[in-house]
Amino acid sequence: MTFRPLQDRVLIRRVEQEATSSGGVIIPDTAQEKPMEGEVVAVGPGTRDHAGALLPLDVRADDRVLFGKWSGTEIKLDGEDLMIMKETDIMGVLGSRVAKKKAA
């Protein structure tokens, strides 16, 4: 199945955290918090301003992002648990794209 978000919505796959603490203690699944980090799977085209011009999103597919703990809506597509949220719920982009912008 192909899914294309509309407007300023973003489809995100959560990135699983390690199940071991820094001290080596294994944390059971029931005690772990859901990760607030994910990989962007798909993005919508953007929103329109008052004049009707399209304002594209700042995030792109394959970006690694941080989002709020209670952000988005959980959905299941092709048996995979994903999240869909508005771009404004994303706090920032992690990784190489940020470093490339600074170098330019």
User: Where residue 45 sits, what CATH number does that domain have?
Assistant: 2.30.33.40
Residue 2, domain member (yes or no)? no
Separation between Cα atoms, residue 43 and residue 1, nearest integer Å: 16
Whole-model pTM over 0.75: no
Range of the domain at 38: 9-15+33-103
Residue 27, domain member (yes or no)? no
Q: What is the pLDDT of residues 5-61, one digit of tens each?
A: 999 999 999 887 655 555 666 655 554 556 689 999 999 999 999 999 999 999 999
The pairing of beta strand 54-55 with beta strand 9-14: unpaired
Residue 23, domain member (yes or no)? no
HSE, side-chain direction, 13 A CA sphere, residue 30 = 0
Higher local confidence (pLDDT), 101 or 58: 58
Residue 76, domain member (yes or no)? yes
Separation between Cα atoms, residue 64 and residue 28, nearest integer Å: 25
Separation between Cα atoms, residue 56 and residue 20, nearest integer Å: 39
Closest CA to 85 of 3, 2, 6: 6
pLDDT bin (cut points 50, 70, 90) of residue 69 is: confident
